Amino acid sequence: MSTADLVANAVSKRFADTQAVDALSFSVERGSFFSILGPSGCGKTTLLRMIAGFIAPDSGDIAIGGNSMRNVAPNRRPVNMVFQQLALFPMMSVGENVAFGLGQRGMGRADRMRRSHAMLERVGLGGASAKRVDELSGGQRQRVAIARSLVLEPTLLLLDEPLGALDLKLREHMKIELKQLQAAFGTTFVYITHDQSEALVLSDHVGVMSNGRFEQLGTPQDLYYRPQTPFVAAFVGANNRIVGRTTNRDGALVEIATTDGWTIHARGHGPIAPGDAVEAFVRPEAASLAREARELPGGQPNHTGQVQSLLFDGANSAVLVQETRTRREFRIALPQTGQFSDLKPGEAVLFSFDPERAVCFPARPGAAGRDTAGSDG
Amino acid sequence: MDSALETRWHGRLSLGLLLAPAVLWLGALIVLPHVDLAVLSFRERVGPRQYAASLAQYRTFFAEPLYWRVFVRTALMSVAATLLTLLLAFPIAWVIAKLSRGRSSSWLFILCLIPFWVSETVRTLGWMILLRESGVLPSLLVKLGLTAVPVELLYHDATILVGLIYTSLLFMVIPLISSLESLDNSLIEAAYDLGAGGFVILRTIVIPHAAPGITAGCIVVFMLTLGNYLTPTLLGGKNSQWFTEQIYTQFITRFNWEQGAAFGFLLLALSTAMVVIGLRISGQRFGDVMRRT
């Protein structure tokens, strides 16, 4: 693949008793925004540090811009990194921070300060060159850190959860800004995060990582609408998780009965035979809510329940419903029509969902656990 | 009494009581003797129990080459000892602060501390046992065939320097460790990532960050070395030519307290001047530096 800026081939790394990265292979296309999404301890930081060159892989190879990076030190790689805590140099001015890398390439002071100014202009910090780093706001520092790397025109820009330290409002703002910066510069970004919303909003492609492996690699839409593993279904976006055994299979559709006797239907994924333990996932927005049966879409199995609590969150508002017989919690997104604005806890409701939009997988070993009513994960 | 006024008065009283020991200590043991020494240094004996104000003591210092040569020599040797201590202590502090983890780091620190469980006199006598002509090291050199006869390793300038560095090492290591520990490792990684090599990182990131610690260590070591009496006397013998010895001689051997007091003030002026110059060169402020010690 000539257009791939980053190719990892069976890369592994082991620390004492944990396999941090387990024979990973993937490639990132030139100019794309690639995210590695996973919970803490999944090995994503190790992977990023191997790409940057701070850690050497035990086996496998990483190629950047078509060249193998084996035995290439971090200061010789065409890769720059934006650190989690940004790591701006407090002993230098903002302009000197941005000019630092150019100086290492032997560029004269006048030249590199001019380039540094131009770069700061581009990220909207034209007048900040002479300022001290601690005079900048969180978002401005973020931009300086990115400018300091991008001024070197790296083949690959690595970002190690750079939004983690910001407050929510600024984080939302910086998400948009990062995406715009990436589009403006066209540099290939490799971004690691544990925040699924960051990964979905920013990326062209996302690798969902768990225990040193990619559970799934695909577009944000793939991950959200077509999860390939129960881990991805549970980790990406809110989902209702229902554990049970299959009682019947009709083509793609599977009938699932929980131990306490609730029956639902979902699309089966992978080898599932009647009697197998399975995990089913239903998106909160895939379910419809109604006060009377005739309001529900036809042709779908109906369920009854009682409103347990209302989770108002503007456009993301949802309601937690308790299924009548089993007292299981089930999360349903509230439509924006205002139809249910007068809903009260304790009210009896009906709900249904299209089995085609629910998915079920063979149960993971040791994943029998409790059902979860789709909190954001 | 107005209650606000009363509270303020109580606050002042407790502050005063808390500061009292320090003020007493400073006043009685440092300021008073120095005032007395200052008065002593500016007078001259004109007859039995008769004294007159004069600059004769200071004039003697500049008129007698031995005195000011010893003075300059002491200053230069102290600067050399300070710089060598810094060179030696920096890698030690780096290992303790950055490379070792948890237990091994505290063990290494204890290893630096152990020599200080023994008094300075005993430590210096230990060096003498090792280095004197009939001592351990010269006989070892003979056994190894490196020298034909035992050589005297004591009473050289190098010997004095070794002893001074050994005595001062800990006082350099401690401020260096604390300033290096506060250096965020990701700054080093970021510089490395941006293309810098080891020496550039040391010069542009590590040293600027550690500058207050370096300056603090240098000031402490320089003052300790300049004012040291025991180590140069024992390891240097008659050749040591240390300025504190001159002061001792004036006070104890010659009973010339006026001359001794003047020398003492010259030494104080020297160390003050060197500290000011050091701060100027490193661009540090005294307050920042002293917080690191």
Report how far residue A362's alpha carbon sits from residue A91's, in angstroms, rounded to the nearest whole number. 56
Sequence spans of domains, chain A: 4-230, 238-373
Q: Residue B9: which pLDDT band, with cuts at 50, 70 and 90?
A: confident
Q: In this complex, do A87 and B194 lie within 8 Å of one another by their Cβ atoms?
A: no
Tell me the CB-side half-sphere exposure of residue B206, using CA atoms within 13 A.
22
Cβ neighbors of A133 (< 8 A, separation 6 or more) are: A88, A89, A90, A92, A93, A94, A97, A141, A144
Burial class (CB in 10 A: 0-12, 13-18, 19+), A273: exposed
Q: Give chain B positions within 8 Å (CB) of A106.
A: none
Cβ atoms within 10 Å of A136's Cβ, excluding its own: 17
Burial class (CB in 10 A: 0-12, 13-18, 19+), A139: middle
CATH assignment of the domain containing B247 = 1.10.3720.10
- Across residues A297-326, what is the average pLDDT? 89
Q: Is residue B13 part of a domain?
A: no
Given a cut of 60, is residue A210 above it in pLDDT? Answer: yes
Kindly state the percentage of chain A with pLDDT values over 90: 69
Residue A375 pLDDT: 53
Dump pLDDT digits (tens) for B82-110.
999 999 999 999 999 999 887 888 898 88
Model ipTM value: 0.84
- Main-chain phi, psi angles of B219, to 5 degrees: -60, -50
- Across residues A266-284, what is the average pLDDT? 90
Residue A366 pLDDT: 65
Higher pLDDT, A372 or B146: B146
**Of A376, A375, A371, whose CA–CA distance to A279 is shortest?**
A371
Q: Per the structure, how many domains does chain B have? A: 1
Q: Which chain B residue has the Cα nearest residue A97?
A: B191
- Across residues A311-338, what is the average pLDDT? 89
Residue A26 pLDDT: 95
Candidates B186, B200, B208; nearest CB to A85: B186
> Three-state SS for A63?
strand
Alpha helices per DSSP H over B95-156: 102-113, 120-131, 136-143
Range of the domain at B158: 63-120+150-292
Dump pLDDT digits (tens) for B29-71.
889 988 988 998 998 888 888 888 888 889 999 999 999 999 9
Given a cut of 90, is residue B117 above it in pLDDT? Answer: no
Q: Which chain B residue has the Cα nearest residue A98?
A: B194
Q: Residue B289: which pLDDT band, with cuts at 50, 70 and 90?
A: confident
Residue A261 pLDDT: 85
Q: Residue B1: which pLDDT band, with cuts at 50, 70 and 90?
A: low
Residue A1 pLDDT: 44
Interface of A with B (CB under 8 A): 52, 54, 73-76, 79-81, 83-85, 87-92, 100-101, 104-105, 148-149, 152
Report how far residue A223's alpha carbon sits from residue A218's, in angstroms, rounded to the nearest whole number. 6
Most confident of A21-30, B97-106, B113-122: A21-30
Q: Give chain A positions within 8 Å (CB) of B187.
A: 87, 89
Q: What angle do CA A2, B194, A1 make, to 5 degrees?
A: 5
For residue A281, the cross-strand partners are A241, A359
**Of A201, B187, A227, whose CA–CA distance to A189 is shortest?**
A201
With residue A370 as reference, give the H or E element that holds it.
none
Residue A337 pLDDT: 82
Given a cut of 90, is residue A59 above it in pLDDT? Answer: yes
CA distance A193 to chain B (A): 18
The class (CATH top level) of A4-230 is alpha beta
Do B147 and B141 form a contact (C-beta atoms < 8 A)?
A: yes
CA distance B169 to chain A (A): 27
Q: Residue B292: which pLDDT band, with cuts at 50, 70 and 90?
A: low
| Chain mean pLDDT for chain A | 90
- Across residues A285-314, what is the average pLDDT? 89
- CB of B119 less than 8 A from some CB of A: no
Q: Residue A369: which pLDDT band, with cuts at 50, 70 and 90?
A: low
Residue A376 pLDDT: 47
Given a cut of 50, is residue A18 above it in pLDDT? Answer: yes
CA A193 from centroid of its chain's CA atoms: 6
In this structure, the dihedral spanned by the alpha carbons of residues B54, B56, B61 and B62, taken in order and rounded to 10 degrees, is: 100
CATH superfamily, domain A238-373, is: Nucleic acid-binding proteins (2.40.50.140)
The answer to whether A4-230 and A238-373 have equal CATH topology is no
What sign for the dihedral angle of Cα B9, B13, B14, B16?
A: positive
Encoded amino acid at B211, one letter: A
Residue B2 pLDDT: 65
Residue B153 pLDDT: 87
CA distance A85 to chain B (A): 8
Q: Residue A273: which pLDDT band, with cuts at 50, 70 and 90?
A: confident
Residue B293 pLDDT: 58
Given a cut of 70, is residue A114 above it in pLDDT? Answer: yes
Dump pLDDT digits (tens) for B149-205.
888 888 989 999 999 999 999 999 999 999 999 999 999 999 999 999 999 999 999
Most confident of A33-42, A364-373, B101-110: A33-42
- Across residues A324-335, what is the average pLDDT? 90
Q: What angle do CA B191, A150, A81 make, to 5 degrees?
A: 45
Q: What angle do CA B135, B139, B144 make, to 5 degrees?
A: 150
Q: Give chain B positions within 8 Å (CB) of A91.
A: 204-205, 208-209
Structure tokens at B17: 């009581």
Residue A297 pLDDT: 85
For residue A11, the cross-strand partners are A24
Q: Residue A377: which pLDDT band, with cuts at 50, 70 and 90?
A: very low
Candidates A54, A92, A104; nearest CB to B189: A54
Q: Which chain B residue has the Cα nearest residue A99?
A: B194
- Across residues B116-133, what is the average pLDDT? 89
Q: Give chain A positions within 8 Å (CB) of B190.
A: 81, 83, 87-89
Candidates B186, B197, B209; nearest CB to A87: B186
| Chain mean pLDDT for chain B | 90
What is the pTM (predicted TM-score) of this model? 0.82
Where do we find the tokens 């003020």? B23
Cβ neighbors of B247 (< 8 A, separation 6 or more) are: B260, B263, B264, B267
Q: Residue B120: which pLDDT band, with cuts at 50, 70 and 90?
A: confident
Q: Give chain A positions within 8 Å (CB) of B204.
A: 89, 91-92, 100
Residue A69 pLDDT: 93
Dump pLDDT digits (tens) for B204-228.
999 999 999 999 999 999 999 999 9
Q: Residue A314: which pLDDT band, with cuts at 50, 70 and 90?
A: confident
For residue B53, the cross-strand partners are B43
CA distance B101 to chain A (A): 16
